[in-house]
Structure 1
Amino acid sequence: MTTTIHLCIATGQNAANFIPLKQLGAQTIWILETPDMQKQHSAKNLTQALKQALPEAQVRTLAFDDSTPAAMQAAALQLACDELDGQHVIFHATGGTKLMVLAIHQQLLNLQSGAGSYRLLYADTAHQTLSWLDEAPRQEPMADVVTLNEQLLLRGYRSSNDTRPAAIQQRASERAKVTKFMGEKSAQLQGFLGALNFHARQAADGKSLTQEFNYLPRAQSPAGKLLELAEEQALLSINEAYSQITFANAEVAEYFCGGWVEEYVFLKFTGTLAPTQYTLGAQITQIQSKNPNEIDGIAVANNRALIIECKAKKQDQAQDAIYKLGQLVKQVGGLMARGLYVSARQVSEPDRNRAREYGVDVLAADELAKLSDYLRQWKSNASQ
């Protein structure tokens, strides 16, 4: 059986190499690594993902000097003559600089004059296509191959909890009616949600679970119906005579502080994204530096990631949260990822503008009711 060597260039956007390698089931893979890519651990990250996706594959990393045109020419010549002469090679020409790709391509063309063979492949992640340039040039669709764990590995991260714990899933399901009511009626609940959040914070911080409000909402109002539904679910009890609400326990108080927003996203993920891979409350760690991060939600569909941040805090705290999410989108998701900032409170227009600059979409306050539509649209766009 003829061995085909898949040659690629380590890049900061590893998905462009990983997707075709996995799609083609590559078994012999050589990764060219420049000094700059070595500092970024690009080849190591790609290798980690390939070991999971293609456990039988043989992966080799070779140093490549790209310091000057002459150095590139010499390195390409040595690679073609000393390493690849007589071999059957597929060159994945997506990474590296144009000059580097041209230098390698020029030398690999010589393989066809001997016992070897040479084909060039370009992966276009933006348009989800693989383009072959050989005797029969053609294009084929890019397959949906990147799993959630592989997405993290490609970016140099590991997850310590790839699925939401069963106990949390159960708890979210039990109070789903209350959660969905708050999310879908958030526009009518705005004033009261702020007061509820404040008193719940007091209870969660160790003060009395019984909190006295200035007044309780009318029974037939949206806020009144929320309290009635919460009382039916045994999340709280109401003393109308003293305008008091008693939270069932500190965990329930945390839920009303803002935990309900995460659970609302979880319920919408479950109902809308299946069978797309996703996780909520993910603890991820950067492999090289061991720096931990927490991601409220991440989904992967058609080789693209959606990273979510959930907040129920005041508007003036949105700026820092959006900036943090923008950084996570870049670091964990890569160029094709989007971020989604989900907030129970309104988000100012300046903060929305800033979010757009970071590749982050915003659903806030009354927009929460549109979350299912947003997720369906994101999944549809990811497939295009």
Structure 2
Amino acid sequence: MREAATNLKRALEARGVGCKRIAFDDATPETIRASAEAIAMELGTEPLLFNVTGGHKLMTLALAENLEALADDLHLVYAETRHDRLDWLKPSPGIEPMTNALGIDDILRAQGYRRTADSNQDAFWQADADARASLTRKMGDDAERYERFFGTLNRLADYALADENRFDPRQEFEYAPGGRNAELLREASRLGLVQWDDDTLITFTSREAAAYFRGGWLEEYVWYKLRGLRPHDWAVNLKTQSYATQIENEFDAVVAHRNRLLVIECKTAGFGRNEARDVGYIYKLAQLSDQIGGSMSQKLLLSARPINADVRQRARDYRVDILAAAEIRQVVDYLRRWLQG
């Protein structure tokens, strides 16, 4: 709880709220009462608002009792987060709906993390994403039609980017794509993302273009949908760092709304083929989401490839929702439901 208090203090101070931490000995009922009395005496008879949500129940009861005996104007409030309301207990009972008060940074700080980067602040990235919006929508709305081709494009893009010091843009298909796959490549060529002349050779025009086909298109698809829905706060390609360990993690998309966090992970290839590895991805998503968003966080996995029933069940066990293949186009409906609670 002391570590959590440090994080909460940091989050409040970032909002301009002055804080003071007071040690509280809760080892025995006697020390609980003594600590509560000492705090009540220190706070004196000033008007007080006491948030009785969570914490040690005996501590909370002792504090409330002693504060009520000394304070002339004591207000008690309980945050009923799951029902988006504040329950006022004193001086008179009442219910007040919660407002959208917390952004991504508020929640991150309260959990012991900070934002280090995200694409929402990158105007050049946004301009490039807008330029290829039609292709991104096609790939997302018709994901099940390109299921196998996504894996092929992802693999070739990965080859092109394999060496950090050397970009290898020229790659080769096993056979010349045809039908809808060829049309997708022609549109990509018109947009300047690739060079392709209806044969087996393809050239990615830049590292950014290769990264788009390696999976960035699905992140951009989510970005478009979020931009249209306008939640309280949201970011894509969000990088965070722990204050305690300095470990950095990246999240494809994060949404803050109704004072809680939704974490979205996008998978376009390398998922849906190896069950043990897939479950590992899901477990990691669940763990990292809880770390940055707390127990109220929600997790969503988007997969361009189908996901079998066993993996879906494991995802439910970890409280991770899945939209895969043809279900990707349902992401807007999913987001609307989550935003509305």
With normalisation by structure 1, the TM-score equals 0.81
Return closer, same or farther for 1:243/1:291 CA change in 2, 3 Å cut-off: closer
1:46 and 2:2 are equivalent in the alignment: no
Alignment-derived partner of residue 227 in structure 1 = 185
Q: Which amino acid aligns with 2:181?
A: A
Map residues 338-353 of structure 1 onto 2, 5 A cutoff: 338-353=298-313
Q: 1:175 is matched with which residue?
A: 132
Match of 2:64 among 100, 105, 108: 105
SS at 2:20 equivalent: strand
Report the aligned-residue RMSD.
Answer: 2.0
Alignment of 1:93-242 (within 5 A): 93-111=52-70, 116-161=72-117, 163-205=120-162, 209-218=169-178, 221-240=179-198, 242=199
Amino acid at match of 1:146: L
Report SS of the residue matched to 1:42: helix
Residue 222 of structure 1: how far off its partner (Å): 2.5
Query: Partners in 2 of 1:203 and 1:59 — Cα distance?
Result: 52
Distance 2:186 2:197 in 1: 12
Per-residue CA deviation, residues 77-129 of structure 1 (Å, 9 max, x unaligned), is: 2222x3134232222111212222222222223126xxx23232111111111
Cα pair distance change 1:224/1:68, threshold 3 Å: same
| Structure 2 letter corresponding to 1:150 | D
Distance 1:245 1:106 in 2: 74
CA offset at residue 73 of structure 1? 1.5
SS of the aligned residue for 1:60 comes to coil
Q: Tell me the secondary structure at the aligned position of residue 19 of structure 2.
A: strand
Amino acid at match of 1:42: A
The 2-side partners of 1:180 and 1:278 are apart by 20
Report matched runs for 1:1-384 at 5 Å.
37-38=1-2, 41-53=3-15, 55=16, 57-80=17-40, 82-111=41-70, 116-161=72-117, 163-205=120-162, 209-218=169-178, 221-240=179-198, 242-272=199-229, 274-314=230-270, 315=272, 316=274, 317-381=277-341
Mapped to 2, the partners of 1:275 and 1:330 lie a distance apart of 20
Distance in 1, matches of 2:170 and 2:39, equals 74
Q: Structure 1: where are the runs of 5+ without partners?
A: 1-36
Task: Single out whichever of 294-303 and 356-365 deviates more from structure 2.
Answer: 356-365
Distance 1:296 1:175 in 2: 19
Structure 2 contact 235–255 (Cα < 8 Å) conserved:
yes
Supply the AA of the counterpart residue of 2:186. Answer: E
Q: CA deviation at 1:275?
A: 4.8
For the 8 Å contact 1:164–1:280, the answer to whether it is kept is no
- For structure 2, the residue ranges without an aligned partner over 5 or more in a row are none
Q: From the superposition, tell whether residues 100 and 152 of structure 1 become closer, same or farther in structure 2 (CA, over 3 Å).
A: same
Identity %: 38
Q: Following TM superposition, by how much is the alpha carbon of 1:135 offset from its aligned partner in structure 2, in angstroms? A: 4.3
C-alpha separation in 2, matches of 1:336 and 1:166: 32
Matching residue's letter, 1:48: R
